[in-house]
Amino acid sequence: MPKISDIRPKIDAIDNQLLELLDQRAELVKQVGAIKASQGDSASFIRSGREADMARNLLNTTHSLPKTALYQIWRIIISSSLQIENGLNIYTTHVNATPDSCRLIQQYFGIKPIFEDTNQKVIEQLQQCGTCVGVFSSGSWWQQLQGTEIKIFAKLPFMAEDTSQPLYLAAKITPEPSDKDKTLIITDTPTNDKPIAQCNGQYLYEQDGFKKGGQVIGNYGVL
């Protein structure tokens, strides 16, 4: 059996390799950000479909580390890259800022949100900012998204083991499909399915697959 004193230098060497690789990744991210800026590309500052596929592959593959820990490490790398590439602000309301939601936001983005008084003010921030994300949970926010460029691109928690109240992430982006998606759609007529929400004669449904259309307010990948 090897001695601990023989193993620790190997661990230190791996840690150093990880740091070097992360530095290399950060430099590549800067290059991507510069290319996007030169092309005026702000509609894809978050690649929602790509991120969902990466997360799904990570969680569906066997690793030595616990899946929860791996997912959190991966999210820190992704959110840090977003901040390097574009800068990033997260907006939500005080009503949506429960302990669980704050934990999910912190785990997903690695930064604390900026608080607004109402969902409408959050939406106004998103309309003015091409690299900002809004977090919604309660209220009729989904009706306020109709007719705007703001689209839902993710639903938290992503991992099925977490039973926290769902959060919906929105931004001024063009949603992209992943290998397994859900669509949020608003209708004026109820269906046989149970709506996620209803207000003033309108119904919000979550449907399987990646769909487009005037009644769609977003799409997101699921596990």
Cα–Cα distances (Å) from 36 to 46, 81, 106, 150, 153, in that order, read: 12, 14, 26, 20, 20
Domain membership flag for residue 68: yes
Domain membership flag for residue 194: no
Alpha-carbon distance 48 to 114, whole Å? Answer: 22
Please tell me the predicted confidence (pLDDT) of residue 43. Answer: 57
Which positions ≥6 away from 192 have C-beta within 8 Å?
Answer: none
Please tell me the predicted confidence (pLDDT) of residue 42. Answer: 58
- Can you spell out the DSSP letters for 79-130? HHHHHHHT--EEEEETTT--HHHHHHHHHHHSSPPEEESSHHHHHHHHHH-T
Taking alpha carbons only, the member of 202, 189, 195, 145 closest to residue 168 is: 145
Domain membership flag for residue 97: yes
Query: Which residues of the chain carry a pLDDT beneath 70?
Result: 41-43
Domain membership flag for residue 34: no
Which CATH number do you get for residue 167?
Answer: 3.40.190
Residue numbers of the domain that contains 128: 44-175
pTM over 0.75: yes
Please tell me the predicted confidence (pLDDT) of residue 71. Answer: 92
Cα–Cα distances (Å) from 18 to 77, 113, 174, in that order, read: 12, 29, 33
Domain membership flag for residue 28: no
Alpha-carbon distance 52 to 213, whole Å? Answer: 22
Q: Which residue has the tokens 């991507």?
A: 32
Alpha-carbon distance 71 to 10, whole Å? Answer: 24
Alpha-carbon distance 194 to 187, whole Å? Answer: 12
- Tens digit of pLDDT for each residue in 37-53? 888 765 578 889 999 99
Domain membership flag for residue 24: no
Contact present, 201 and 210 (Cβ < 8 Å): no
Domain membership flag for residue 204: no
Sign of CA pseudo-dihedral 46, 50, 56, 61:
negative
Domain membership flag for residue 200: no
Alpha-carbon distance 79 to 55, whole Å? Answer: 13
Please tell me the predicted confidence (pLDDT) of residue 160. Answer: 74
Taking alpha carbons only, the member of 127, 164, 167, 156 closest to residue 144 is: 127
Domains in the chain: how many in total? 1
